[in-house]
Copies of this chain bind each other. A is one copy, B any other.
C-alpha cells in the first residue's frame, strides 16, 4: 500500500487557490492514500467566529469536499483532508475521508488547541475508524496527539494507520508520534504545513513542517524538512500493524490490564 502526505503552505482564506494548488500537485501522483494538513484550504489563524463561519464549509457540499471527491475519483485514491466544517450553527475543525466511490467519513477534532476553542466546537464524532479495503484507518487532528487515549482508542478499534492532519507550531509532536506508533503498533502519517501566519496584529505563528511517516516498530520511515513543501510516499505492509505480538510471551493489547487503569 502506497501512502503519504502533501506538506505545503496554504494562503490564508484563499480556498480555491489552495485547492487548485493541491489538485495540480496530486494530479501527477500514483498512491493509495494521501493525507493533507489540518485546515488545509483555509489556513489556520482565524480572527473571529464570523470569519471562521464564512470560510467553513458544509460537508459534502462545500468546495473542499467537492473538489477532493473529484480528485480521489480521478486518481483512484483515498484522501484525508483537514477543513473548517460548518454544520447547523456550529463550526468544527474537521477532516474528511474521501475515496473513489465517495465520502467515507468525517472526524471532528476532539481536543482543540488554544484559540481554536474560540472558533470551533469540540468534536462530537468520537474517534471513528473506517475500513478502506487494504487497511483500517482513523484520524487524529494536530493536538489530539498529546492525548494518548486518542491514538489508543483508534488502535483498539482496529486502526492500522493513524492519519494525522496537523498545523504544528511546537516542536514535540514528531518525536511523540514514534511513541504513539510503538505503544499501539500502528503506522502513522502526520501531514503538517509549513510557512507562517501573522494576522490582524496577532503574534506570528510559524509552522514546523516535519511531516512524518512512522512504522509500528517506531521507525521514522520519513520525516519532511521544516521549511519547504514536500509530497512524499512510502510503500507500507499494513499487516505489520496487525501483529501485536512483540515477544513470544507478550501481546501488546492482550497484556493490557484495564482494571488497573483510570480513565
- Which of chain B's residues has its CB closest to A247's CB? B114
Residues of B within 8 A of A152 (CB): 148-149, 261-262
- Which of chain B's residues has its CB closest to A155's CB? B262
User: Does residue A12 face the partner (Cβ distance < 8 Å to B)?
Assistant: no
CB of B114 within 8 A of CB of A157, answer no
Which residues of A (18-51) have their CB < 8 Å from a CB of B?
Answer: none
For residue A7, give the distance in angstroms from its CB to the closest CB of chain B. Answer: 22
User: Does residue A193 face the partner (Cβ distance < 8 Å to B)?
Assistant: no
With known contacts A147-B256, A153-B260, A157-B262, A248–B114 Cβ distance under 8 A: yes
User: Chain A: interface residue count, which band?
Assistant: 35 or more
User: Does residue A198 face the partner (Cβ distance < 8 Å to B)?
Assistant: no
What mask results when residues 137 to 172 of chain A are scored 1 for a CB within 8 Å of chain B, else 0? 000000000111110110011000000000000001
With known contacts A113-B250, A247-B114, A249-B115, A149–B182 Cβ distance under 8 A: no
Stretch at the interface among A87-95, A173-181, A234-242: A173-181
What mask results when residues 239 to 263 of chain A are scored 1 for a CB within 8 Å of chain B, else 0? 0000000011110100111101111
CB of B183 within 8 A of CB of A148, answer yes
Give Cα A127 to B259, complex, Å. Answer: 11
A residues with CB within 8 A of B:
110-118, 122, 126-127, 146-150, 152-153, 156-157, 172, 175-176, 178-180, 182-183, 218, 247-250, 252, 255-258, 260-263
Q: What are some 30 contacts across the A-B interface (CB < 8 A)?
A: A110-B257, A111-B255, A112-B249, A113-B247, A113-B249, A113-B250, A114-B249, A117-B249, A117-B250, A127-B260, A127-B262, A147-B256, A148-B148, A148-B152, A149-B262, A150-B260, A152-B261, A153-B260, A157-B262, A172-B178, A172-B182, A172-B218, A175-B175, A175-B178, A175-B179, A176-B178, A176-B179, A176-B183, A258-B263, A263-B263
